Amino acid sequence: MPTLGSLFAGIGGLDLGFEFAGFECRWQVELDPFARAVLERHWPDVRRHDDIRTWPTADAEPVDVIVGGFPCQPVSLAGKGLAQADPRWLWPEFRRVVAGLRPAWVVIENVPGLRRRGLRGVLADLAALGFDAEWTVLSAAGVGAPHLRKRIFIAASDASRVELRVEPGWFGRACRQAEAESRDDGAAWALADAGGERRASVWAAQAARGLESSLRDLALRHGARPWQSEPDVDRVAARLPARVDRLRCLGNAVVPQCAEVVARAVRAAWGR
């Protein structure tokens, strides 16, 4: 089973999606105490570290894949757009970890604003480290959710370790195929229960038919505004303890079903 290390893990959206696709998480790095508590609950046996600036330690375990979404505020269209001038621009720390641990693959997630405010530099850094990278944009709507939540994903393989038998543009094509398959088999927007098995939500049957109009109608029946850029997560934290922390972590989280699409595309190209 291929192994996974997670940087800027948040509450584990990337980690969960990759586990759906057959990866085993070995370590997680996350600074926020509330998010780390969530990780502890769901991955009690996985090693955790708090600050990427002091990772990896001397005994850090090498992994096949390093995933992570470094803070998006420097490149978000909703922010000041300071990019590399923002102290929260932590891509250099991500790059340092990759250079030290040399995984076979690196998968990076961020907001679409990265395309104009740093993507070229990220790709150049990966190339300098010997990684062949491709990128694409995925939406939560592609896996059946009634909102857009577009995110950019970069998949990069170590050219000295991974022989890709695919044509340029493979990543975007593979992700689109995985999205289509998730709709066809009715598993789109599936949730993991406590036993680790999936159960399809009410959205899955609609997504399986591939009818956008059905999803719009369904969203309206459930009181949501159809095709929002981001989901309204307030209802999942109303009148609950640590409401602000919950909302912040949910807002920063990666949609696990999108992460699974990416993970399956990587495995297909990797042949593992």
φ, ψ dihedrals at 156, nearest 5°: -130, 130
Residue recorded with tokens 């999108």: 258
Instruction: Tell me the pTM.
Output: 0.80
**What's the number of domains the chain is made of?**
1
Cα–Cα distance list, 132 to 52, 155, 265 (Å): 24, 8, 15
Q: Starting from the edge strand earliest in sequence, which strands make up the sheet with 3-7, in order? A: 47-49, 24-29, 3-7, 65-68, 105-110, 151-158, 131-138
Rg (CA), the chain: 18
Residue 12 lies inside a defined structural domain of this protein: yes
Strand, helix or coil for residue 228: strand
In a domain, 211, yes or no: no
Both tokens of residue 269?
A: 């190209």
Please give the Cα distance from 237 to 154 (Å, whole number). 31
Q: Which of 5, 45, 65 is nearest to 29 (CA)?
A: 5
Could you tell me the residue range of the domain that residue 24 belongs to? 3-186+248-270
Tell me what pLDDT residue 83 has.
76
- pLDDT at site 231: 63
Examine residue 169 and state whether it is found in any structural domain, yes or no: yes
State the Cα–Cα distance between residues 76 and 113, nearest whole angstrom. 5
The number of beta carbons lying within 10 Å of the beta carbon of residue 16 is: 20
Residue 23 backbone phi and psi in degrees, to 5: -95, 155
Active site residue 258: no
Residue 198 lies in a domain: no
Q: Sign of dihedral through CA atoms 255, 261, 210, 202?
A: negative
Asked, for residue 23, whether it belongs to a domain, the answer is: yes
Output the CA angle 15-48-69, nearest 5 degrees: 45
Q: Is 145 exposed, middle or buried (0-12, 13-18, 19+ CB in 10 A)?
A: buried
The pLDDT value recorded for residue 129 is 97
Tokens representing 202? Answer: 């009410």
Q: Give the per-residue pLDDT at 251.
A: 77
190 has which bridge partners?
200
pLDDT at 91: 96
Tell whether 149 is covered by a domain: yes
CA 264 from centroid of its chain's CA atoms: 13
Report the alpha-carbon angle 187-193-197, nearest 5: 55
How confident is the prediction along the chain (272 residues), in pLDDT tens digits per residue? 999 999 999 999 999 999 999 999 999 999 999 999 999 999 999 999 999 999 999 999 999 999 999 998 888 766 666 777 787 789 999 999 999 999 999 999 999 899 988 999 999 999 999 999 999 999 888 887 777 888 999 999 999 999 988 888 999 998 888 777 765 554 444 433 333 333 333 333 333 333 344 444 544 554 545 456 666 655 555 555 666 787 778 778 899 999 999 999 999 999 98
pLDDT confidence of residue 88: 78
**Residue 179 pLDDT:** 76
Sort strands 47-49 and 24-29 into parallel, antiparallel or unpaired. Answer: parallel
Q: What pLDDT, on a 0 to 100 scale, did the predictor assign at position 128?
A: 97
Q: Is residue 96 part of a domain?
A: yes
Question: What is the predicted pLDDT for the residue at 233?
Answer: 58
Catalytic entry in 72, 175, 249, 258: 72
Residue 152: give its domain's CATH number: 3.40.50.150
Q: In whole angstroms, what is the distance from residue 118 CA to residue 233 CA?
A: 29
Question: Would you say residue 209 lies in a domain?
Answer: no
